[in-house]
Structure 1
Amino acid sequence: MPAARLIALPAEKGWQTYFAVLTDSHYWWSLVNTLLLSATVTVVTLVLGAAVGIFLARTPFVGNRILLGILTLPLSFPGVIIGFFMILLGGRQGLIAQVSDDLGLGRVTLAYGLPGLFLAYLYFSLPRAISTYHAAAQAMDPALEEAACSLGAQGWPIVRDVWIAELAPTTLACAAVIFATAMGAFGTAFTLASKVEVLPISIYNAFTNYADFATAAALSLSLGLVTWFVLFLGRKLDASVMETR
């Protein structure tokens, strides 16, 4: 029932409301900001998450599990808390502002625009990628790398033909989840997005500040369709990769 109501609600204001995200430049740029932010966070998270996760899985040392636990701790933090952390680091009274002011550079702030959102999203996305790649790397058969080495492969060929190939399903699944999570993240954006607007904030403003429920529903549908498409594409690509193995 709630989903049906969400779909039908924009029609009360006219069918063109369904395309508000495309016809209104404000909402269009909100969508563009959200897509670019989510895509950038996804790519950087996959690179860093894979490097750290695989390293921890393949390099035993004292405190390995403790370090893994610390790195994945942000999984338990709500978005508002992560936003607060970012303000403590890059806000007007944050550490970066204090250090830059002491150096005579003025009070540099990062928290309230796209840089702050990027760092905050990266902070809550990395633990998921690290734990996922860590588990996948531990489950890999060491014989695959040994066989590649016995055939004379070294360095990049092993990374390309063994690691990237074997972890492709993990990468696709992780990318889809991280992108979808970043697209719909609200708590962090609500805390930080005072200089830039992303789609979840546009939805919140539409129904809270302007009581424009039809537009809020249309924007919600747009956000849901994009997220659903990415998750669907991830599943299809994952199935295709599994069929070719």
Structure 2
Amino acid sequence: MRRRNVLPGLPLSLGVTLFYVGLIVVLPLAALVIKAASLGPADYWQIVSSPRAVASYRVTVLSALGATLFNLLFGLALAWVITRYRFPGRRIVDAMVDLPFALPTAVAGIALTALFANNGWFGSVLEGFGMKVAYTPLGIMVAMCFTSIPFVVRTVQPVLEDLDPALEEAAQSLGGSDWEIFRKVILPLLTPALLAGVSLSFARSLGEFGAIIFIAGNQPMSTEITSLLIFIRLEEYDYQAAAAIASVLLLTAFFMLGVTNWLQARALRYTVKG
């Protein structure tokens, strides 16, 4: 008797999927690696360890970490409010979470610069408190937060919606406070989704370009991000140097995703055992 496949058309669908992944994902990454590998070890190290490149790594990574930490806290709070409360304009707030996905990043950068410049709506107020956002590393973090916060909200929101209310009711019946219920019941169940959202947010912040270049000031050694340095090398037709610097971002993103997947596996194992 002929055995039927669980999914009809599996060979065809699998072939189309692998072709798409190979063409859109693997091929560009392979080209980047090959281009960077065409440099000798000494030349490669000289490029990726130059003072300007190291300064751009520092600005990019520290800004991405700051933006990711903000997104972790604010994104969780935003997902919680959208999921747990009903208030006028809730659907509008929920829809606006996806605005950074739909809005061109260059438009977002221009808008953020107009808002946080010294004469902008927010910038003029913050300047009175001695805070300058535009053309500083803080402005870079603001742009990264804007473009990457949907990843945290949209990964946590479905998990919050699917949580069984009986778990919280049981914890309340046992005398648990609101903080204890959140810390010991809800947070462990949200941890895998939070880790996924945070890793995606961090990876997006590392590679963000359009929203940042308008608000960063782009001063070498202080507010120049790695993506801009790669773009500058491309404009100089130094493709090998651009590929070498880009490979550092690629390795960083892969390392971050690998660590996050490991933490997710541990969190899921802990949740299942619990």
TM-score (norm. length: structure 2): 0.79
Matching residue within 29, 35, 44 for 2:70: 44
Instruction: Tell me if the contact between 1:72 and 1:130 (Cα under 8 Å) persists in the aligned partners.
Output: no
2:122 aligned with 1:122, yes or no?
no
Count how many residue pairs are aligned between Structure 1 and Structure 2: 241
2:225 aligned with 1:198, yes or no?
yes
Q: Distance in 2 between matches of 1:45 and 1:220?
A: 25
Q: How far is the alpha carbon of 1:240 from its aligned partner?
A: 1.8
Corresponding residue number in structure 2 for 1:207:
234
Q: How far is the alpha carbon of 1:135 from its aligned partner?
A: 2.1
Q: Distance in 1 between matches of 2:214 and 2:169?
A: 49
2:231 partner amino acid: Y
Q: How far is the alpha carbon of 1:80 from its aligned partner?
A: 0.7
User: Which stretch of structure 1 is more off in the superposition, 176-185 or 17-26?
Assistant: 17-26
Q: How far is the alpha carbon of 1:111 from its aligned partner?
A: 1.9
Corresponding residue number in structure 2 for 1:34:
60
Q: How far is the alpha carbon of 1:58 from its aligned partner?
A: 1.0
**What value does the CA root-mean-square deviation take over the aligned residues?**
2.3
Instruction: Tell me if the contact between 1:21 and 1:31 (Cα under 8 Å) persists in the aligned partners.
Output: no
Q: Distance in 2 between matches of 1:46 and 1:11?
A: 36
2:190 aligned with 1:188, yes or no?
no
Instruction: Tell me if the contact between 2:151 and 2:200 (Cα under 8 Å) persists in the aligned partners.
Output: no
Matches within 5 A, 1:89-100: 89-91=115-117, 93-96=119-122
Structure 1 residues 150 and 29, CA gap change in structure 2 (3 angstroms): same
User: Which stretch of structure 1 is more off in the superposition, 139-148 or 126-135?
Assistant: 126-135
Corresponding residue number in structure 1 for 2:41:
15
1:197 partner amino acid: E
Matches within 5 A, 1:1-245: 2-20=28-46, 23-91=49-117, 93-96=119-122, 110-194=133-217, 195=219, 196-208=223-235, 210-244=236-270, 245=272
Q: Distance in 1 between matches of 2:102 and 2:136?
A: 24
Structure 1 runs not aligned, ≥5 long: none
Instruction: Tell me if the contact between 2:117 and 2:124 (Cα under 8 Å) persists in the aligned partners.
Output: no
Give SS of 1:167's match: helix
Structure 1 residues 64 and 95, CA gap change in structure 2 (3 angstroms): closer
Structure 1 residues 5 and 123, CA gap change in structure 2 (3 angstroms): closer
Q: Distance in 1 between matches of 2:147 and 2:50?
A: 31
Q: How far is the alpha carbon of 1:66 from its aligned partner?
A: 2.4
Instruction: Tell me if the contact between 1:54 and 1:137 (Cα under 8 Å) persists in the aligned partners.
Output: yes
- Pick the structure with greater CA Rg: 2
Q: How far is the alpha carbon of 1:109 from its aligned partner?
A: 5.2
1:89 partner amino acid: L
Instruction: Tell me if the contact between 2:188 and 2:267 (Cα under 8 Å) persists in the aligned partners.
Output: no
Q: How far is the alpha carbon of 1:62 from its aligned partner?
A: 3.5
